[in-house]
């Protein structure tokens, strides 16, 4: 075979090889696309609802089955239950004690209100137990007690492999006593275990699990004793590796939370950690910002913002949509909002 023939064969097959190679690589390339490219057409929209919803803040919004539950907040208020399919609110039982500044977790189809406070500002008291709401029976019960020397409110909480994790928080309401503690409750045995402290204390935030790591992002160190309640927001992001039992802080400034704020809401979507809403000294109105941390690359991107800034509630996943309800519209405790917002396609466009 001559030299010309040797050259012709690769030239003929190269286009086919290139096409096949691109077909193979396409899923990986899409997985690496920044979140903004996947969400250019998405937005949050205010939902039309009927029925009675009780505006509140320092509360939670969480999905169980086909319904989304709005629980807690300052003052004794009933559970409000949203049916996303119909847009209708209904009401459930009122908790036996005022409960606020907590993060909800779902265990065996019951909602646990973990790391909660009760009472009035600025010296709220950390609850000595975990209130539990059962949506099936519409009843409240008393869950496990927290060890007396580890009680605090405004903490983050997650469940993984039959164990509850409570991270950071503040001992004395808004007054002082912010801590970096990490505690584990074995839900089968009822035994608590103290794990390594986080690299830094924070309160007024929510934790989330992405992959095999627990993320603590957002929040602040509330300090009413020094008249510095909103001042000390935390931009650094810490994560706990369950496999190694160690904490790591994302490199700064690339890993820092854009627009540092507290009272924010956290949710995991695929490989992304979403931090939404919040309050800070940077502005009088609540933040409408929604930021996504790509936990593979360690970088942040802006996602579509809320239609109305808010803090002190929760972002609930329901099917392929994210929902947020109520919360406070300004820094501090008012106005308490009576609106519901939803965004389409976050989960299906973002999950790897």
Dist. CA 177–CA 108, nearest whole Å = 33
Residue 177: is its pLDDT beyond 70? yes
Residue-by-residue DSSP string for 278-315? -BBTTBSBPP--EEEEETTTTEEEEEPPPSS--BSS-E
Please tell me whether the overall predicted TM-score, pTM, comes out greater than 0.75 for this model.
yes
158/343 Cα distance (integer angstroms): 24
- Structure confidence at residue 35 (pLDDT): 39
Q: In the predicted model, is pLDDT for residue 270 greater than 60? A: yes
- Lowest mean per-residue pLDDT among 19-28, 187-196, 245-254, 267-276: 19-28
Residue 5 is predicted with a pLDDT of 36
pLDDT score for 345: 60
Strand partners, 153: 170
**Bridge partners of residue 70, in order along the sequence:** 61, 80
- Given a cut of 50, whether residue 350 has pLDDT beyond it is no
- Reported for 194-201, long-range contacts at CB under 8 A and 24+ positions apart, including other chains, are 194/150, 195/165, 195/240, 195/245, 196/240, 196/245, 196/246, 196/247, 197/247, 198/167, 198/168, 198/238, 198/240, 198/247, 199/236, 199/238, 199/247, 199/249, 200/234, 200/236, 200/238, 200/249, 201/168, 201/170
**Would you state the structure tokens that stand for residue 56, as one six-digit string?**
């509140």
Residue 160 pLDDT grade (very low, low, confident, very high; cuts 50, 70, 90): very high
CA distance 187 to 312: 27
User: Looking up tokens 């996303």, which residue turns up?
Assistant: 84
The owner of tokens 């009272």 is 263
pLDDT of residue 36: 35
Q: What's the confidence (pLDDT) of residue 349?
A: 45
Q: What is the mean pLDDT of residues 5-14?
A: 34
What are residue 341's DSSP bridge partners?
Answer: 46, 324
Query: Using CB atoms within 10 A of its CB, is residue 120 exposed (0-12), middle (13-18) or buried (19+)?
Result: exposed
Residue 94 has pLDDT above 80, yes or no: yes
3-state secondary structure of 7: helix
Instruction: Please list the residues that pair with 285 across neighbouring strands.
Output: 330
Residues in CB range of 257: below 8 A, 6 or more apart? 217, 218, 234, 235, 236, 237, 275, 291, 293, 300
Angstrom distances, CA of residue 51 to CA of 46, 82, 217, 282, 335:
16, 9, 35, 35, 20
| Three-class DSSP category at 10 | helix
């Amino acid at each position: 075979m001559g030299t010309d023939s040797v050259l012709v064969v690769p030239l003929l097959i190269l286009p086919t090889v290139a096409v096949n190679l691109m077909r193979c690589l396409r899923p990986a390339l899409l997985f690496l696309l920044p979140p903004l490219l996947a969400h250019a057409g998405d937005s949050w929209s205010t939902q039309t609802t009927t029925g009675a919803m009780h505006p509140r803040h320092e509360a939670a919004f969480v999905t169980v089955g086909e319904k989304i539950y709005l629980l807690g907040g300052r003052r004794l208020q009933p559970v409000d239950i949203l049916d996303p399919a119909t847009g209708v609110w209904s009401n459930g039982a009122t908790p036996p004690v005022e409960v606020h500044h907590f993060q909800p977790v779902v265990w065996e189809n019951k909602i646990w209100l973990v790391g909660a406070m009760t009472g009035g500002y600025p010296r709220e008291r950390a609850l000595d137990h975990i209130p539990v709401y059962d949506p099936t029976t519409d009843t409240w019960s008393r869950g496990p007690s927290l060890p007396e020397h580890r009680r605090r409110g405004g903490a983050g909480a997650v469940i993984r492999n039959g164990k509850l994790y409570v991270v950071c928080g503040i001992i004395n309401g808004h007054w002082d006593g912010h801590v970096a503690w990490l505690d584990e409750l074995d839900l089968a045995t009822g035994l608590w275990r103290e794990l390594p402290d986080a690299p830094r204390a924070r309160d007024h935030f929510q934790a989330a699990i992405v992959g095999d790591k627990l993320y603590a992002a957002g929040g602040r160190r509330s300090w009413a004793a020094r008249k510095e309640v909103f001042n000390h927001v935390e931009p650094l992001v810490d994560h706990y590796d369950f496999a190694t039992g160690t904490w790591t802080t994302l490199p700064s400034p690339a890993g820092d939370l854009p627009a540092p704020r507290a009272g924010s809401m956290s949710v995991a979507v695929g490989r992304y950690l979403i931090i939404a809403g919040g309050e800070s000294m940077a502005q009088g109105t609540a933040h409408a910002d929604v930021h996504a941390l790509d936990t593979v690359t360690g970088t942040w991107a802006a996602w579509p913002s809320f239609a109305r800034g808010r803090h002190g509630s929760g972002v609930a996943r329901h099917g392929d949509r994210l929902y947020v309800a109520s919360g406070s519209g300004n820094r501090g405790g008012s106005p308490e909002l009576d609106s519901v917002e939803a965004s389409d396609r976050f989960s299906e466009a973002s999950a790897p």
